[in-house]
Chains A and B, each alone.
Chain A
């Protein structure tokens, strides 16, 4: 079920009406049933995979926890069982065809021509599989590490896995944070209600007012067959810049709604974004973007590989490998692998240039105005860099990605200068209406983002009083008046 659907609004109304009067245990059962209905709405068969992951990790967690510390082999075997099932499911549904195709390309390069068509399964990727498998693997790994005791109540564990606000697209909640909350008595505070409602409405505004409009504005420029031509350099660059805005509001809106729903149900879900839209560097961006997944990769991949404890070269290799895996997690295609590697290279570049960048910072830091100017100059450069790297995220295939890169970077600066000099907003000479509006939306999002950074508007609004009522009324009106029915959330495809 999609958040931005009429069925979800009806579903939410039923959940809120029935949930609160129920006794504690019944609340958990009700949430479990609702989560199953939410996930299985379009295809009940997918519940089987979810049940399998839940059952395997419940048993594995119990066995690991019950085994004495000296029974290392047994504990590790159960851990491997959990990882094998989860990664096996993920690998089968998400990566099977990718590896078949890449393997056939490799064989072709070695002179062995194999037609991969007969080996492709073309399976539909179950929604949220990349998220819930990672969430349950974290559970068994934390038990194996001794950070967590096994949850003996299958109801609470199942609810931890399928909790509908964060099931399909995160945040990836750690068992140490979410699971104990299911054992606490139900409690709700006015602050949780204010924050929850505000976040839900804010999420819907971001999604149905901004993200979906941006998506519809730029989508035609990526369908080169239907377009009948390559987009111009200005069109391609504009589309990439606007996609960078789109993915921020789209993904962060889902997290906002998830966290808001959790609050209304009495549960705290950790923030997943911390003002990542305007950032001065790519490493800073990754510290603030999809925090739950970044921390997952850090804790379960990067640090076990040695992290930054074994010298500069090993650290850099670890970073590159981590971003390679991150790219692969996002999608089973060459595009995503390259996207991940480019992000890795960008992070390494920032390390390599640390000294000159530090010197520049010192130079500009002498005066508050120059310090601010330098900050936003870095942010602009980072935004453009991210937009460039995201060519491989957004374009539908490898050839389109290369064509896009050629259009954007192959054009001389003179082409862009000429386009800008002939720009006449009232006559729409350079960009079509939708793209121009897209940049207007980007400006509005920038202002809201910086308003939160400098004025902490969110906290002030949710503190209560008329500010909260008026803000929520305004957000509701924006959704009701300007919301459109657009594509599904971007991260639903992962």
Chain B
């Protein structure tokens, strides 16, 4: 039989040595915490200079744009000086061409100009903090797009929203209060102290890495990060992200029934809408809850009858509701996001809506218009990676 493992541990240190060791440990921990907090407070946060090179998430870019708009002297330089704040999710981002809308508004002599801030997963509770940073004035209009899946009972868990994104927008208390997260997740988030360090760490690190790679690998200063499509919109006609093999996984995740919804006032985004209402009222701005209907295929194949009924009931409860036109199936690059064909229609509609406000048509597209997947190939396609929003 093999001999036992007999490498005995070293002898036990004596009391004097132990005291010296504990003093050393205390000193090392104190220095370590000081170094960490020093780094965290000095260089990691929403105003870190390194964000100029490392900013990469859509939420970070939207917050940055909000800061810039807050101090933009030309914001209200146009006649009338009113601003339409389209603040919402990626659907808002994809639905409107800000430059085209503003050109049309200027041609019409409209008092409005559009400023668009659409972030991935930008439902109501995540829109409230963005709106708080904007210089909304009396007479302005706030347009927030609404979508049924934002009223899932398990929205936070289901979206797998990165806690860095959530931390950039919501306070630790607000995150703790989100009911649908399991206790270990809540404890994990509560332990993220200081909050700004954890929320902005990855993007500050991106800036630091850009400088490190630039200086030591490419021997030149890095270029500042660009928002690209994160503030503007994607230009492809069809998303190549989903392939048939992924369809079943997508269906399991996204197919919606009423049983998964929580339409009570305490649901995260129901409470968010109530807060939006209060904030707009306090600022004297008009709130519009805009339903940009998804594709017929999304409505008929991915939402069952109970979900559609719940959506109709919810929308009827909102006095601020406006419904945008139903787009044809090939005017989306996936189930829900308008492509450039859809964007052109919605941009024209928005210009017309601002001149002639109306509630919009709530009727559902016929089921026969649901284009089944795989969709027909687009004539021109400059496909890119897309995030659901």
B6/A176 in contact, CB under 8 A: yes
B7/A192 in contact, CB under 8 A: no
Specify which of A20, A188, A481 is in contact with B205 (CB 8 Å cutoff).
A481
Query: Chain B residues with Cβ under 8 A from A181's Cβ?
Result: 9
B108 to chain A, nearest CB (A): 45
B28/A197 in contact, CB under 8 A: yes
Given contacts A193-B28, A194-B24, A264-B25, contact A187 B188 (CB under 8 A): no
Specify which of A303, A476, A482 is in contact with B32 (CB 8 Å cutoff).
A476
Which residues A130-161 have CB closer than 8 A to chain B? 142, 145, 147-148
Tell me if B18 is interfacial: C-beta within 8 Å of chain A. Answer: yes
A7/B184 in contact, CB under 8 A: yes
The distance in angstroms between the C-alpha atoms of A174 and B4, with both chains bound, is: 9
Given contacts A16-B29, A190-B20, contact A9 B184 (CB under 8 A): no
**Given A7-B187, A148-B4, 19 new contacts (CB under 8 A):** A7-B188, A41-B187, A145-B1, A147-B4, A177-B5, A180-B8, A184-B12, A187-B12, A188-B17, A188-B22, A189-B17, A192-B13, A193-B25, A264-B25, A267-B9, A270-B5, A303-B1, A426-B218, A477-B39
A142/B4 in contact, CB under 8 A: yes
A268/B188 in contact, CB under 8 A: no
A472/B28 in contact, CB under 8 A: yes
The distance in angstroms between the C-alpha atoms of A148 and B5, with both chains bound, is: 10
Q: Which residue of A lies closest to B9 (CB)?
A: A268
Tell me if A490 is interfacial: C-beta within 8 Å of chain B. Answer: no
Tell me if A456 is interfacial: C-beta within 8 Å of chain B. Answer: no
Query: Chain B residues with Cβ under 8 A from A193's Cβ?
Result: 21, 24-25, 28
Specify which of B36, B192, B209 is in contact with A476 (CB 8 Å cutoff).
B36
Query: Chain B residues with Cβ under 8 A from A469's Cβ?
Result: 31
Tell me if A295 is interfacial: C-beta within 8 Å of chain B. Answer: yes
A217 to chain B, nearest CB (A): 13
What are 11 A-B contacts with C-beta separation under 8 Å?
A142-B4, A186-B12, A188-B22, A192-B13, A193-B24, A226-B246, A298-B2, A473-B35, A476-B36, A480-B35, A482-B205
Query: Chain B residues with Cβ under 8 A from A270's Cβ?
Result: 5, 7
Query: Chain B residues with Cβ under 8 A from A145's Cβ?
Result: 1, 4
Which residues B316-367 have CB closer than 8 A to chain A? none
Interface string of A302-316 (1 = CB under 8 A from B): 011000000000000
Interface residues of B (CB under 8 A from A): 1-10, 12-15, 17-18, 20-22, 24-25, 28-29, 31-32, 35-36, 39-40, 184, 187-189, 191-193, 198, 201-202, 205, 208-209, 217-218, 240, 243, 245-246
The distance in angstroms between the C-alpha atoms of A20 and B29, with both chains bound, is: 14
Specify which of A268, A426, A484 is in contact with B10 (CB 8 Å cutoff).
A268
The distance in angstroms between the C-alpha atoms of A482 and B208, with both chains bound, is: 8
Size of interface on A: residues with Cβ below 8 Å to B? 54
Q: Which residue of B lies closest to A300 (CB)?
A: B2
A10/B191 in contact, CB under 8 A: yes
B51 to chain A, nearest CB (A): 14
The distance in angstroms between the C-alpha atoms of A482 and B18, with both chains bound, is: 34
Q: Which residue of B lies closest to A5 (CB)?
A: B188
The distance in angstroms between the C-alpha atoms of A176 and B5, with both chains bound, is: 7
Which residues A176-213 have CB closer than 8 A to chain B? 176-177, 180-181, 184-190, 192-194, 197
B181 to chain A, nearest CB (A): 13
Tell me if A25 is interfacial: C-beta within 8 Å of chain B. Answer: no
Q: Which residue of B lies closest to A144 (CB)?
A: B1
- Per CB-CB distance, the 6 closest pairs between chain A and chain B, nearest first, are A187-B12, A147-B4, A187-B13, A10-B191, A188-B21, A268-B9
Interface residues of A (CB under 8 A from B): 5-7, 9-10, 16, 20, 41-42, 142, 145, 147-148, 174, 176-177, 180-181, 184-190, 192-194, 197, 225-226, 228, 264, 267-268, 270, 295, 298-299, 303-304, 426, 440, 469, 472-473, 476-477, 480-485
A200 to chain B, nearest CB (A): 10
B18/A189 in contact, CB under 8 A: yes
Query: Chain A residues with Cβ under 8 A from B28's Cβ?
Result: 193, 197, 472
Q: Which residue of B lies closest to A196 (CB)?
A: B25
The distance in angstroms between the C-alpha atoms of A295 and B209, with both chains bound, is: 41
The distance in angstroms between the C-alpha atoms of A264 and B246, with both chains bound, is: 48
The distance in angstroms between the C-alpha atoms of A190 and B32, with both chains bound, is: 17
The distance in angstroms between the C-alpha atoms of A362 and B208, with both chains bound, is: 49
Query: Chain B residues with Cβ under 8 A from A477's Cβ?
Result: 35, 39
Query: Chain A residues with Cβ under 8 A from B22's Cβ?
Result: 20, 188
B191 to chain A, nearest CB (A): 4
Q: Which residue of A lies closest to B219 (CB)?
A: A426
Specify which of A6, A42, A184, A295 is in contact with B192 (CB 8 Å cutoff).
A6
The distance in angstroms between the C-alpha atoms of A20 and B218, with both chains bound, is: 49
B21/A190 in contact, CB under 8 A: yes
A41/B208 in contact, CB under 8 A: no
B208/A177 in contact, CB under 8 A: no
The distance in angstroms between the C-alpha atoms of A353 and B36, with both chains bound, is: 53
Query: Chain A residues with Cβ under 8 A from B13's Cβ?
Result: 187-189, 192
The distance in angstroms between the C-alpha atoms of A295 and B4, with both chains bound, is: 11
B60 to chain A, nearest CB (A): 16
Query: Chain A residues with Cβ under 8 A from B14's Cβ?
Result: 187
Query: Chain B residues with Cβ under 8 A from A9's Cβ?
Result: 191
B28 to chain A, nearest CB (A): 6
Query: Chain A residues with Cβ under 8 A from B205's Cβ?
Result: 481-484
B198/A6 in contact, CB under 8 A: yes
Query: Chain B residues with Cβ under 8 A from A476's Cβ?
Result: 32, 35-36
Query: Chain B residues with Cβ under 8 A from A267's Cβ?
Result: 9
Q: Which residue of B lies closest to A40 (CB)?
A: B184
Q: Select the residue from B24, B32, B193, B208 with max chain A CB neighbours within 10 A.
A: B24
B236 to chain A, nearest CB (A): 16
The distance in angstroms between the C-alpha atoms of A186 and B1, with both chains bound, is: 33
Query: Chain A residues with Cβ under 8 A from B9's Cβ?
Result: 177, 180-181, 267-268
Q: Select the residue from B15, B36, B188 with max chain A CB neighbours within 10 A.
A: B188
Given contacts A268-B9, A268-B10, A472-B28, contact A189 B21 (CB under 8 A): yes
The distance in angstroms between the C-alpha atoms of A5 and B13, with both chains bound, is: 32
Q: Which residue of B lies closest to A269 (CB)?
A: B9
Query: Chain B residues with Cβ under 8 A from A268's Cβ?
Result: 9-10
The distance in angstroms between the C-alpha atoms of A304 and B2, with both chains bound, is: 9
Query: Chain B residues with Cβ under 8 A from A5's Cβ?
Result: 188, 191
A187/B18 in contact, CB under 8 A: yes
Query: Chain A residues with Cβ under 8 A from B245's Cβ?
Result: 225
A194 to chain B, nearest CB (A): 7
Q: Which residue of B lies closest to A436 (CB)?
A: B217
The distance in angstroms between the C-alpha atoms of A426 and B35, with both chains bound, is: 35
Query: Chain A residues with Cβ under 8 A from B17's Cβ?
Result: 187-190
Query: Chain B residues with Cβ under 8 A from A480's Cβ?
Result: 35-36, 39-40
Specify which of A147, A186, A473 is in contact with B31 (CB 8 Å cutoff).
A473
B5/A174 in contact, CB under 8 A: yes
The distance in angstroms between the C-alpha atoms of A9 and B243, with both chains bound, is: 40
Given contacts A189-B13, A477-B35, contact A484 B202 (CB under 8 A): yes
Specify which of B5, B39, B40, B184 is in contact with A42 (CB 8 Å cutoff).
B184
The distance in angstroms between the C-alpha atoms of A83 and B123, with both chains bound, is: 54
B193 to chain A, nearest CB (A): 8
Query: Chain A residues with Cβ under 8 A from B21's Cβ?
Result: 188-190, 192-193
Query: Chain B residues with Cβ under 8 A from A10's Cβ?
Result: 191, 193
Q: Which residue of A lies closest to B25 (CB)?
A: A193
B177 to chain A, nearest CB (A): 18
The distance in angstroms between the C-alpha atoms of A197 and B191, with both chains bound, is: 21
Query: Chain B residues with Cβ under 8 A from A482's Cβ?
Result: 205, 208-209
The distance in angstroms between the C-alpha atoms of A469 and B24, with both chains bound, is: 11
Given contacts A41-B184, A194-B24, contact A186 B5 (CB under 8 A): no
